[in-house]
Structure formats: C-alpha cells, structure tokens
Structure 1
C-alpha cells in the first residue's frame, strides 16, 4: 500500500539558521529601535537583537542569490552588489524584486558602505579604485584613484553629514582621506601599517581616526592636524578583524584570538578583556556597537552579546549549527550536538537564545539523557556525564570516536558507550563517578548505535558490518547476532510493549525482528528512497517512526506493517529524531534545521467526528427543506454538502411534468439569489452533467437561465468545455428527428 503525505503531524516550532557568515549591519527603524541585518543563505533579515526574531525579511531565489556585498541604505532599504557587478536596491519585507539596478565597476567589488543620512554609496574594488554613487538616481558621482596600490579593503564615511569626507584603506596598508567636495585625496597615510587594514573608525567628536589591521597594531590619527603620521601606535599582539570607538577615550578590538578587548586611547593600555568567545582557534570576524551592548560575530558562527561595562556575555545566539548530529531533552531543555565541541541548550520554546556547555575538545556526535543526567560522546574519544548541565565525570578508555551512548531505561546507574574502535563498554555510575564494568570487541566495523532493552537486561548494538548484536548486561556475553541487512545498520529501537526489535539500514529498509530465542525476521518495511538513519517506537508500541537521508519522516502501523503517513520534513538528511512522552517528534538535519512536530491524530479524529455530526444535521435540514418546498435553500445546502448527484436529481424532480417555459421560469426564480461564486460552482457541475445525453435536457435548461442573467468572464472557460458536448447532443437529436420522419413516411406508405 502506498502511503500518501498526510497531516497526521504538523510543524509546531522550527529553529533555523539566522546567520551564515559575511557582513552584518546595524539599522534603526522608525521607532528608533536598533535592528541587526543578518544574512542566512538567500535570506536577508532585520532581526531584533534581543530575541533574534525577524522584524522584516527579504527572500531571494536560490538561483539568483549571487550577492557578494551589501549594505543598508535606510531602515527598510537594502543595497546589494552581485557577482556580475550589478547594484540592486531592494525594499525589506516586500517580494524579492529590486526597485532599480545599475551596472557598477568592471572589476569585482569587494567592499561597500552607505552614508548614514545621505543617498551616497561608496564602493571599493579589485582595481584599487574607490567610487561614490548616488544610490537614489543610480549614477557615479566620484571616481577616486591614485592613492591605493592594492585591493581596497575597508571604507567609512565621516559621521558628521556636514563634513564630506570618505576614508578608505587597502591591503598594502595605505589609508586615504578623500574630500568629496573637491573629489581628491587630502591625505595619503602610508607606512603606518605593513599589512591589510581591516577597520577604520572616526571618533564621536570627529577629530580622531582609528585604523587597525592584520599587522597586529592600531594607529590613532588626528584629523585636525596636517601630519601624515599617527599620533599613537598601539601593539595589540593579534591580527585585528574589527575595531571601533566606544567613547572618545576608549576603543575596542577583536580578531584572531577570539577575544574582545577595550583600550585606553591615551595610555595605549588594555583596560578590559572578555573571555574567549566561541570555539578555541576561531576568530572574531566583526563587532557591532549598539547603544547598550557590543555584538561579536565569530568565524564559527556564534553571536555573543557583551556588556561594555565588564565585557561579560549577557546572551548567546547560534547563527548556524552546521549538521545537527544528535539531540535530547534534558531537564526541560533541548540539547543539540553539532559540528562543534560545545553542547547547545535551548528552551523548549526554541527561542534563538542559547546556552553553551563546554567540556569536549572535539565535535560531539551522540547524546542520551534521563531526568537531569545526560551523557555525551565525542570525537575526542571520550564521553562526559553531566548532571543538571554540570560536568560530573569523563569516561575515558575508547581509542576512537565515541559514536553512540545509552543509559538504562529504569535508572541512570547503567551507561553504555560504543565507538569506532569497534568496542562496547558498560559503565556503572553512582551519581559521582563511573566505573568500567566490562569491555567487549563488539563488531568488525564502526558501531553506529547502542541501546538497552526495556528491562535493562540486554544491550543492542548496530554496526557498519551489516549486523545487529545482543549482549547480556550482567557480564557482556554475546547472546545473538542478527543478519539480514545488505548494508550498514544505522539505528535500532525496541518496542516498549512486546519482544520486538526494529532496525534501520543504509539498504533503505526497516526490519522487524523477534527478540525470542531465534531472533527471526518478522517483517521488512520498504518506502524510503535512501538510507534510513533513525527510528523510534511510539509510547504504546503501535507505531514506528523512521527518518532518513531522503529528508522524509514516515509513520508505520506495526500490526498492518504499512506506512500510514509520510512527512516531507526536511530538504537534507535527517541525522537525529526524538519522540517525547506526548508523542511530539523532534528532527534535526544536516543543514542545521531543527523541527518540532505535533501529533494531530486526535485533533483530526475529533474534527472528522464533528464534520460527520454536522453533515448528519445538514442532511436532516435538507430533507426538511424539500418537504417544505424551500427549493432555493435546499439547492444551496446541497451545493454546500458537495452532492452534485443529489442536486441533479432534485432539479429533475422540480422540472418533472412542467413545460419548458414553466421549467425555465421556476429555475430562474430559484437561482435569482445566487451570487457569482455559487453560479460558478453550479456551472462546473452542469459541465459534468452535460457530458451525458441523458442529463443534457436539465443541463441545457439551467444553462439557458444562467446565460440570460450572468455574464461573468470567469464563466467563459467553463462554457468553452460545455459547447462541444452541446453541439454533439444537438447533432444526435437532429439525427433522431430525421429518423423519426423516415419512420413516419414508411408507416404512412404501409397504410
């Protein structure tokens, strides 16, 4: 039996990537609220810094998404430049169609910035040139050349609109100050930087220029002096990616060390440092200054909000998880393992705010939890036991990736870990420490999954060696090996109510096995288009949920051994799936998207019962209307009940025994109160009735009435389908009439 896509489950919540790298811009809306413009693939969104929720979005087509640089023109207008060097101006929140566009440089544009108040757009390109454009009228106002001898890397307008100065810097360390009134460079600051300049910032007083670069120094320039030498040079001892003025006396820097630091401009001393943000070894790519906080973006796509007073982290968001490899719910928190060593904790409402758990040195790939206790397995060859999100102990002993972890169903005293080193280990956990009970060489290839049976007496493992094995918890003795899959076995689940084991494999099948003495295969479930990666039984054991590389979630009826629901859940492979106590499903995929699915079966059953009850009542009402000869309302109710056959019979009863003119008059009276929508629906049914010569008489009467009163253009297409059958019916009637004349002639001759 083929399963159809069903509404058995509906999406309740979604956690999607909000930032996939690149520049971020601060915008201020009409209420003076600050918003952050972030890009996630082809989606540009102005987001609330407090919640991460999008205030307005611009969704571009993936095929047309070749934007390289972008900037905000005003609170709702975005300017982009694509790989074809074409500028396009867009309005946030409207359908993705540019307001206007124009061709830019011949060379690739690498940086652009828009003036805060004026319609001026500055661009820097690979041809070492700087251009200024009127973004409203789409023409070039300035073509600035002659200073830079390398690619332009950063641009900044003077914050005072009355001072028409533009600052630019390049990879060779050169900084230029351009007077836009005179279209010339009034200063060329060379020699102070020996590497690419990555940041330019003008102080709030307008008299000081800060420059920073990957040569690990920050220079401060006095713009009120004619000198081309910096007034102060500060060694910050890291390649700087972002810097700016916090006040006229303090500035911040951030870069390769992943630390935000505050500096006293007068003394050149660091006065405050943050902790390392993000994953060790990743840099901070940019820092944005809001009114009351600093927002730091890291190269591993974390977003940290810092209090400027002490540089403490007030909250954390994750721009993009990468691949979600596993998930669990622990202590009312949704916990994700991804490509990074940190565990990510979310409230079950799935707001964008996230808490990070640090303990592993490499990516975490497996999770399990019970009550407040959680176990995580990592590529660093270890597993960690957590209690209330605090590390309790580390399980050391595996020599390769800890690929799967499991805890006993009845208590947290039993912990099983399996690894790519092909071993299975059982640990006894007393709440404070875990002791190794036994180790077994379990499989010939990587172990993919481990789980306990409901009574905690046996452990089940699955492997890339195409086998499933059952082990005795007491001593690690092998009880049996199950063979039958043609490729590696990814996952296994044991029914909570009977001796039934389900296994999911890369051979695109799910197999049901008896956990009796012979471990025989009972059923093979087929339907997935690719590897089946994870499976879960329902709480009552009547259903099985499966998810795979095809992005589909399927719901199977165990007794009937058939798929009763297919959910087109994700566009990428689903690595992990979790079933909660209330039959909610959580699924996480390889593109970093987490979805929560709510079971709608009870609601659908209730809605179906209410619909049946309502239909019965309406059927009785229809019978009563016919008895009262309330023909108009009876016709409308029959149409509402979607009963074209009954309606046709009803029309037949109305015209039966009446002449053509009497029938036309009566039908015209009955249809007089119909609106265009009702007439359109009735005409579609007349089209179907008119295909049969037996029903053509009533159909033609109704058409006559409708055509005399209604001239809607929407009916033309329907009449186009009616006309060929009408012509055919009249031709047949003509033939019958001619035949009747012939019969009359023959009868008369015989007489």
Structure 2
C-alpha cells in the first residue's frame, strides 16, 4: 500500500526580531520596567528585562510620530504627530483620552510633561513653546522670545504660588526663562556658542546645568540665573545626567557630591565633578567607541556609529541608559559604567543572516551597517562586531565549527571571527584584503575549517587558506592577514552566489 507523499508544509512564526525604534527621544518609566520608543506611527512599549514589545499605541490614521512625552506618574503619553495633532493616551489600556491641534505653525520637536502631572509643554520650529493643561483641555501659555527650533525644554523642579519657571533653548544658543505664573519672559542665560542639547538640575535643586555642542557644560545659579562656571568637555555634547555619586564605586567618595555624566560624539560616558570641573572617570569598556589605529582616519559612517544621542538616568535600575545614532539602546551599571545589555531598535534592510552555536542559540545579522549584530534569541540582547569599515554584505559559518563566522563587506575585506563557547563575545582572528571591489558572497567547506571561498564585484573567485594554527588561539590581539591560495576570474559581472559540494571538491558560482 503506497503512502501519500507530503509535498509541502506550513510553518508558524515562533518569534520575530523586528524594528521598534526609528528615531526621536525615548522615555523610561520611573519604576524602570518599561522603555517607550517611537517607530514610525506607533509607540512601542518594551519590557526592560528581555527587550520584547509588550504594548503598542497606534492611532487609526497613518500619522508619523515626531515627538512624545511621558507624564511623571507614568500614566499618560502625550504624542505629537506629523499632521500637527496632539493625542493624549492612557498607555496601559491603550485608551485615547483626547485629540487636539497643536496650533504651532510648523512641526513639534519636543514634548515635556511637568512634575505635577497637570501641564505639558510643546516646543516647535516656530520659535515658541506652548503649555497645555492636561485636565482642562486648553493652552495655558504661548511663550515667545527664543529664535529658531526649540529642541530642549525643562520645567523647574521648584515652584511656588509666586513663580514657576520653564526653561527652553533654541537655535540662538541661549537658554530662555519664562515664568508661568506671570506668563513673562524673565531672562535669557547666555554663554554657549552652539546648540544647547540638554538642561538639567542638580540634586539639591540649587543649580542648573546645560550641555552644548560647543563642547562646554555651564553651571548656573538657579536663584538668579547667573553663570557660576564653564567646564570644557572636549567633545560635542548631546546629553548629560546629574547622578547620585553615592551609587558610584569607581570614584573617590569625597568627590561624589556634585557628579554629572556627559555623552556625545566620542561614544563614551564620562563622570565629572561639576563643582570643580574635574574629570573623575572615563568609561573603559564602551560598546560604541571605535578603536582607532595610529594614523588611521575614520569615515563618516564609523564616526556616526559611535555617537551618543541621548542619555537617561534610572534611579530604580541604578543604571544609565544611552541611545546611539544607529537607534540602539544600551544599559550601563551606574557604579562602574559597565554595559549590562543592548537592544537594537532599527534593523533597516537585512542583507544576510547566519545561525551560531551548536545549540543554535544566537544569530548573526548583516544590515546596512559596517557592524554585525549578534542576537541572543531568548532575550533579544544584542552586541555588535566591529571591524569592517563599510556595509557588511554576507555572512557564513562553518558546519564543522559553528563558533566560526566569516563576513564580507563593501570595504573589499573578509574577516574570520571566533566566538567564545558561550557566544557572548568574539574576536577577529583573520582578515583577507585581496579583492579590488566589494566582496558579495562567501562559501565555507563542510568537512574542515581549512579554507573559505569568496566572490566579488571584481568578477573573481578567491580561495583563502586558513592557517593550520588552532582557531582557538587567542594570544594575539591583532588579526592575522590571510593570503589567497587561488584566484580565478569566473564571470563577466558581479558574482552573487557561491556553493560548495558536500565533499568540498567542487565550487558553483552564480552571477
């Protein structure tokens, strides 16, 4: 009796790795359990423990989000859309409370909620800040006096029946001060010579700290808004945080009274005493900073990949959360600034993937980036392999050793990476730089890790010999250069695919 042969089979999706963050500022709940991000026209709520999306806030119309703010009690989200509409949501049950027009004559770029849970301020490209009452559905203030895009806004943490200040900075490089009680422009604090990117308050609420792309942090007296000191930071700054120094173990306890953390173009966190201006500690193990060889120049893509665009300090987690230019979210311990985890917010176009490890617990992904993303499938924690200087095009592992990964790139180079048994870290063992154009395809042998075959836009196939020394050897810091054993012009145009026969004796190529 013949049995019916199954010609096809359907598969259900077990899990997905997808984009959840495409730009703008993020928010973190006061209890440290959730991170809020904007992804096109959706607000996504992530569980900090594993990086998975647990809630989504989406309006009926496809209206991209350009800014949003979280209330101090973590109850409300106020979302600004490209259409000029503002929407207030109770995010936990996805209930829309109200919708209204922003009445800004242009896009909104910043939304900040105050500590009383009653007011929200919106900053626009029209040189104005508008303050809204969340309970009574009207605009309480239309604050003018600044020039340009109002991207940095902060409510004073101290207020009374006589005064309640709000601070804002635009393209005129000044920090403007308005009194919400009198609706009057009180003063402006001049001192920076480039865009102010952050406004923070000291723990004792006696000082205001401002960071700028002019590589300065300025400390101001909150009572009279006079400058106390200007601290040179020696990098263009995107953010700063005031930190409780008692939680930091890497600095002297005597210097922990007035502590701030700065971040910007160099991709590292640095701790300073803003009372004296002294640099106390520089992060030693940044996941963003690119190691630069002597005399080597970094291209724009590499420089941007290490840029920190935002920082958040979570007292509940005792961690500093940073956001990178590539929309990655990284968590760091506050006591020594060591990295805890990283979530990749935006995948862009996926060019290739490879499964890693004997138990297939990790995957490597090549996207429109020089960095290779390594995901742990159980937690979605991710780390980056850095070494290529242009977009990575292809990835391949060795069937006989799934802890070895080969990558190729538009920088005309291939690299062989060796992972630790836990797959939590890897280093580059070898590199090959014989192709004259982008290396577009890779094939690895089935039986032994003795060679690798590559195809390129230069129309050639190359067979690279892997040295006989053990691939477990980790004594050398720098990768070893490979030499091509064979080179053959195989096609008239770009080689797009390569395959090896199961006995490793034949090579098939497609163009």
- Would you say same fold, with TM above 0.5? yes
1:9 pairs with one of 8, 11, 17: 11
Task: Give SS of 1:98's match.
Answer: strand
Task: Give SS of 2:443's match.
Answer: strand
Matches within 5 A, 1:301-700: 301-331=327-357, 332=360, 333-349=362-378, 351-370=379-398, 371=401, 372-388=403-419, 389-432=426-469, 434-463=482-511
1:272/1:310 contact within 8 Å kept: no
Q: CA deviation at 1:324?
A: 1.5
Question: For residues 200 and 33 of structure 1, what CA distance do their matches in structure 2 show?
Answer: 22
Of Structure 1 and Structure 2, the greater helix share is in 1
Residues 125 and 39 (structure 1), Cα distance of their counterparts in 2 relative to 1, 3 Å cut: closer
2:422 maps to what in 1?
Answer: none
Matched, 1:258 2:289: no
Q: Any idea what the Cα deviations from partners look like across 1:123-154, whole Å, max 9, x if unmatched? A: 22233222211012210112223x32333221
1:277/1:304 contact within 8 Å kept: no
Q: CA deviation at 1:360?
A: 1.7
Question: For residues 241 and 484 of structure 2, what CA distance do their matches in structure 1 show?
Answer: 53
Question: For residues 359 and 82 of structure 1, what CA distance do their matches in structure 2 show?
Answer: 38
Q: CA deviation at 1:176?
A: 2.1
2:114/2:155 contact within 8 Å kept: yes
Residues 442 and 160 (structure 1), Cα distance of their counterparts in 2 relative to 1, 3 Å cut: same
Matched, 1:180 2:180: yes
User: Which sits farther off after the overlay, 126-135 or 97-106?
Assistant: 97-106
1:153/1:196 contact within 8 Å kept: no
Question: For residues 110 and 348 of structure 1, what CA distance do their matches in structure 2 show?
Answer: 35
Question: For residues 428 and 105 of structure 2, what CA distance do their matches in structure 1 show?
Answer: 54
Question: For residues 7 and 120 of structure 1, what CA distance do their matches in structure 2 show?
Answer: 56
Q: CA deviation at 1:276?
A: 6.3
Question: For residues 294 and 255 of structure 1, what CA distance do their matches in structure 2 show?
Answer: 14
Matched, 1:277 2:288: yes
2:38/2:65 contact within 8 Å kept: no
Task: Give SS of 2:20's match.
Answer: coil
Residues 78 and 323 (structure 1), Cα distance of their counterparts in 2 relative to 1, 3 Å cut: same
Question: For residues 118 and 152 of structure 1, what CA distance do their matches in structure 2 show?
Answer: 22
2:266/2:289 contact within 8 Å kept: no
Residues 303 and 442 (structure 1), Cα distance of their counterparts in 2 relative to 1, 3 Å cut: same
Question: For residues 217 and 176 of structure 1, what CA distance do their matches in structure 2 show?
Answer: 18
Question: For residues 189 and 355 of structure 1, what CA distance do their matches in structure 2 show?
Answer: 41
Residues 460 and 278 (structure 1), Cα distance of their counterparts in 2 relative to 1, 3 Å cut: farther
Of Structure 1 and Structure 2, the greater strand share is in 2
2:78/2:111 contact within 8 Å kept: no
Aligned length: 449
Q: CA deviation at 1:442?
A: 0.8
Q: CA deviation at 1:33?
A: 4.4
Residues 105 and 431 (structure 1), Cα distance of their counterparts in 2 relative to 1, 3 Å cut: farther
Structure number with bigger Rg: 1
Q: CA deviation at 1:356?
A: 1.8
Runs of 5+ in structure 2 lacking a partner? 1-7, 245-256, 291-301, 420-425, 470-479
Task: Give SS of 1:132's match.
Answer: strand
Residues 289 and 7 (structure 1), Cα distance of their counterparts in 2 relative to 1, 3 Å cut: farther
2:298 maps to what in 1?
Answer: none
1:286 pairs with one of 302, 307, 310: 310
2:3 maps to what in 1?
Answer: none
Q: CA deviation at 1:209?
A: 0.2
Question: For residues 75 and 237 of structure 1, what CA distance do their matches in structure 2 show?
Answer: 36
Question: For residues 431 and 315 of structure 1, what CA distance do their matches in structure 2 show?
Answer: 36
Question: For residues 67 and 376 of structure 2, what CA distance do their matches in structure 1 show?
Answer: 34
Q: Any idea what the Cα deviations from partners look like across 1:578-617, whole Å, max 9, x if unmatched? A: xxxxxxxxxxxxxxxxxxxxxxxxxxxxxxxxxxxxxxxx
Question: For residues 468 and 329 of structure 2, what CA distance do their matches in structure 1 show?
Answer: 34
Matched, 1:153 2:151: yes
Task: Give SS of 1:281's match.
Answer: helix
Q: CA deviation at 1:435?
A: 4.3
Q: CA deviation at 1:76?
A: 3.6
1:209/1:220 contact within 8 Å kept: yes
Residues 67 and 329 (structure 1), Cα distance of their counterparts in 2 relative to 1, 3 Å cut: closer
Task: Give SS of 2:157's match.
Answer: coil
Question: For residues 89 and 331 of structure 2, what CA distance do their matches in structure 1 show?
Answer: 29
1:231 maps to what in 2?
Answer: 228
Q: Any idea what the Cα deviations from partners look like across 1:263-301, whole Å, max 9, x if unmatched? A: 111221222223361673112111111121111111112
1:249 maps to what in 2?
Answer: 258
Runs of 5+ in structure 1 lacking a partner? 1-5, 464-751
Question: For residues 387 and 126 of structure 1, what CA distance do their matches in structure 2 show?
Answer: 49
TM-score by structure 1 length? 0.57
2:451/2:464 contact within 8 Å kept: yes
Q: CA deviation at 1:259?
A: 2.4
2:268/2:289 contact within 8 Å kept: no
Question: For residues 431 and 320 of structure 1, what CA distance do their matches in structure 2 show?
Answer: 39
User: Which sits farther off after the overlay, 333-342 or 202-211?
Assistant: 333-342
1:222 maps to what in 2?
Answer: 221
